Amino acid sequence: MPHDVAVLGTGMSPFGTWEGASLAPVHDVIDEALEVANVTPDRVDEAWWASLGFGGGQLGNQAAWVSTVPGLENVPAHRVENACASGGFAVRSACQAIRSGSVDVALVVGYERMNDQPGHRRGYWLGVSGETAWERMAGTTFPGVYALMANRHAHEHGTTDEQRAAIAVKNHRFAAKNPNAQFSKEVTMDRVLASPVVADPLRLFDCCGTTDGAAALVLASTEIAQELGREGSRITGSGAATDTLALHERESLTRLDATMNAKEAALAQAGVGIEVIDVAEVHDCFTIAEVLAVEDLGFVEKGEGGSASATGVTDRGGEVVVNPSGGLKGKGHPLGATGVAQIVEVHEQLAGEAGPRQVDGARVGLAHNVGGSGATCAVHVLEGGGA
């Protein structure tokens, strides 16, 4: 399989609120990923840095920061910014570079520090990824955009607040078993439904948090992986797609075409069908986003995403375990880090290294990373890993 890319090593920081304001936690995840991969920094041929450039640190040209890591002094480094799908697109670029033959070992770093700014500045930096002319300038932030989709989904498919709340309950339950998760406590259905409204019908517990976090991957060609005697998981499919930034320019408010197109491309490259996926990390920035994701990825029929969590289809023991890490909802959503962290989780699941979160017999996994309200999407399929 000449197109496969091996996952050699992974690194994850705690997600949550960090002290201080430096980029130092990135050092830690890079060190961890290299150590797990058992390669020295000088083996890294090229690096990709996924970030929205959030907060008060290094806002532009961030990729160059990797040169401060001993051994990475001169490594070419790209910054990729595709809003909340930055991580997925960075992984995709790294895979393309490895498949081109010019890169043997690649480093992908995802990073965001969202809590070093006062609240109104957070909204500013996050808001810039929204569509400008019709949404952002009209005051519609992301909860408002996803609320429009939630209302329309309820109208078309009868999706209820309780069905969405069941997603929050599931993902917080999963997150409670993830030591790196931002939210470590389970929540009850009652608590979700009693939480304050952010953008009707979305309540506080329908929304992900504001998160500091970093994640890293060391990727390599399968030849290098063999040479190093590594039997890690392999990225066997990468798909990506784009859609209009503005919601009103799309055919439907209850479907993300970018998800559907990226998924088709990823499955086609991997040569598998969606039914073989055992475990999936999907982009649940809001509960309605997981509803759309499980439908658009084809885990359930359109209109059945609302009930999928409540009926257990996407829960432990169901057809596919969705967001065993806790997802963006429970683990946290440090924008640029998210797409990288999703691959970390899927890899650990396939490697049987997910501890109390382990999905038994996970052989094939999928990561689904969305930018904006569906303007960009990257999907990756991973296989193997020895679980």
Residues of this chain that interact with a copy of itself (CB under 8 A) are 3, 46-47, 52-53, 57-61, 63-68, 72-83, 89, 92-93, 95-103, 128-132, 238-245, 249, 257-258, 261-262, 265, 269, 371-372, 375-376, 378
Q: What three-state secondary structure class fits 343?
A: helix
Q: Least CB distance from residue 272 to a copy of itself, whole Å?
A: 17
User: Least separation, in Å, of the C-beta of 66 and a copy of itself?
Assistant: 7
Work out how close the CB of 361 gets to a copy of itself at its nearest, in angstroms, rounded to a whole number. 30
Encoding tokens for residue 24? 């130092």
**Total Cβ atoms within 10 A of residue 329:** 31
Can you tell me which residue has the tokens 């496969």? Answer: 4
Closer residue to a copy of itself in complex, CB, 80/354:
80
Residues with Cβ within 8 Å of residue 104, at least 6 apart in sequence: 43, 45, 98, 220, 221, 223, 224
Give the active site residue among 333, 347, 368, 380.
Answer: 333
- Compare residues 314 and 373 and give the one whose CB is closer to a copy of itself: 373
Q: In the complex with a copy of itself, which residue's Cβ is closer, 16 or 336?
A: 336
Which candidate in 84, 95, 208, 377 is catalytic?
84
Grouping H, G, I as helix, E, B as strand and the rest as coil, residue 308 is helix
CB of 256 to a copy of itself, least distance (A): 11
Nearer CB in complex with a copy of itself: 94/308: 94
Taking the complex as a whole, the smallest distance from the CB of residue 253 to a copy of itself amounts, in Å, to 17
CB burial of residue 160 (10 Å; 0-12, 13-18, 19+): middle
CB 337 within 8 A of CB 331: no
Q: How far is CA 267 from CA 10, 152, 200, 238, in A?
A: 23, 29, 35, 8
Which residue type occupies 264? E
Report how far residue 313's alpha carbon sits from residue 277's, in angstroms, rounded to the nearest whole number.
Answer: 13
Measured CA distances, 233 to 4, 10, 103, 271, 387 (Å):
10, 11, 19, 16, 9
CB of 379 to a copy of itself, least distance (A): 10
Cβ atoms of residues 357 and 178 within 8 Å = yes
In this structure, the chain runs to a length of: 387
Q: What is the dihedral of CA 62, 63, 66, 72, to 10 degrees?
A: -150
Query: Concatenated DSSP letters for 276-334?
Result: G--EEE---SBHHHHHHHHHHTTSS-TT-HHHHHHTTTTSTTSSSEE-TT-HHHHH---
Looking at the DSSP bridge assignments, the partners of residue 10 are 217
- Compute the least distance from the CB of residue 8 to a copy of itself, in Å: 19
Which residue in 286, 370, 282, 379 sits closest to 83, CA to CA? Answer: 370
* Nearer Cβ to a copy of itself (27/191): 27
Cα(15)–Cα(367) distance, integer angstroms: 18
State in angstroms the smallest separation of the CB of 336 from a copy of itself: 11
The CB-side HSE value for 37 (13 A sphere, CA atoms) comes to 32
DSSP lists the bridge partners of residue 212 as 16, 113
Whose Cβ is closer to a copy of itself: residue 175's or residue 378's?
A: 378
Clarify whether 333 is annotated catalytic.
yes
Residue 207's DSSP bridge partners are 286
Q: Is 285 a catalytic residue?
A: no
Chain centroid to Cα 290, Å, comes to: 12
User: Of the two residues 66 and 154, which places its CB atom closer to a copy of itself in the complex?
Assistant: 66
Which residues are catalytically annotated? 84, 333
